[in-house]
Amino acid sequence: MTRRFFLTHAYRLPKLFLPLILLEFLLTIACLALYGIADPNTYRTKLWQNGADQGFNSAPSEILYGFANYKPVAVPMVWSNYLVQFNIVIAVLSMFLLLVKSVMFVLHAFWPVLGVLVSALEVALYAISIKHQSTPDLSDPAHPSPGLPWYLSKGCSFATTANYGFCMQARAVFAVTCVMVALFSTYLIWSVVSMFPTKVEQMERNRQYEEDIEMKKVNEYSPDDELSREEIWERNRQMFLNLPKTPNTPGFGRQNPMTPRTTAFTQLNGGLAPGPSRGDVAGPSDGLKFREQYGEARVLDGK
């Protein structure tokens, strides 16, 4: 039996999809809420300034001084508006993909190979977000921040009273992003494992493939495939010559034979064949026996 490589169309342990999709829905809602609260600049500059006051990182005012002195300074990624907008975009995209793959899974159209592509994309996007949230702040050589931002590395104990809630929200954003990476990594592993068939599935698919090939050969087989054009023509000619003669065939006879219908009409007409001239062809001379017997019986009875 020929072994053929194929990808499966169904997930292993399909019941696992429901708890994963519910968890993904809750986490996506959390991402939309946390990322939306941070837009456009709810606490980003406040935490930046809070860290500068503690000497942990650069100050927002240095960016303004640089522009004023015609020395543009790039805003550190961890404090940039780009990071906030990027997080919002991937959260909205995640919700869209969640709805699409839920419907496709119910319709048995979300194959594992599609799950691999979607999960790999989402893992990459949220991993990029984690990378951006943990980038160092080296814009101020006097106060460099080579590691994680201060609210992740030192905690919220250094935050002011007004910024404590904002510090907790920033930590929650980073935490939920890490959980999303773990979730989509689970999706990715599950999809990769389900994408390749087991030995039993491989044998069953090969058996079905061989049966389809045999059925196709049977349906497409024709005896004419083994004959040449001259042999086919000779066979058809012999079949035509061996056809039975019809009553109207020339040479069959001068008079047409009596058909069953002609015989019936002859008996009904009292022994004369139907036609324009009833004496042309004579039928049986005995006529209709039952009608004659019935007439004789009436004469004998005096009726």
Report, in angstroms and rounded to the nearest whole number, the Rg of the chain calculated over CA atoms: 47
pLDDT of the residue at 281: 45
Rounded average pLDDT over 50-78 = 84
CA distance 160 to 150: 13
pLDDT of the residue at 14: 87
Answer for the pair 29, 21: CB distance below 8 angstroms, yes or no: no
pLDDT of the residue at 146: 87
Domain boundaries, the chain: 14-213
Residue 219 or residue 233, greater confidence:
233
* Phi, psi of 191, rounded to the nearest 5 degrees: -70, -40
Range in 49-53, 110-114, 256-260 with the lowest mean pLDDT: 256-260
pLDDT of the residue at 3: 53
Rounded average pLDDT over 35-46 = 93
pLDDT of the residue at 227: 62
Inform me whether the pLDDT recorded for 299 exceeds 90.
no
pLDDT of the residue at 279: 46
pLDDT of the residue at 187: 95
Q: How far is the CA of 90 from the CAs of 31, 86, 95, 122, 144, in angstroms?
A: 9, 6, 9, 8, 30
pLDDT of the residue at 24: 96
Q: Of all residues in the chain, what percent carry a pLDDT higher than 90?
A: 47
Residue 287 or residue 116, greater confidence:
116
Question: Burial letters for 78-88: b for 16+ Cβ neighbours within 10 Å, e otherwise?
Answer: bbeeebbebbb
pLDDT-derived band at 282, boundaries 50, 70, 90: very low
CA distance 279 to 292: 21
Rounded average pLDDT over 64-88 = 85
pLDDT-derived band at 277, boundaries 50, 70, 90: very low
CA distance 280 to 178: 109
What SS3 class is residue 91? helix
What is the tens place of the pLDDT at every residue in 176-197? 999 999 999 999 999 999 888 8
Sequence letter at residue 239: M
**Alpha helical stretches, state H, the chain:** 17-38, 44-53, 60-68, 81-106, 112-133, 150-153, 164-195, 199-220, 229-241, 260-268, 289-300
Range ranked top by mean pLDDT from 3-12, 252-261, 274-283: 3-12
Rounded average pLDDT over 41-53 = 93
Beta bridge pairs of residue 272: 282
Inform me whether the pLDDT recorded for 5 exceeds 60.
no
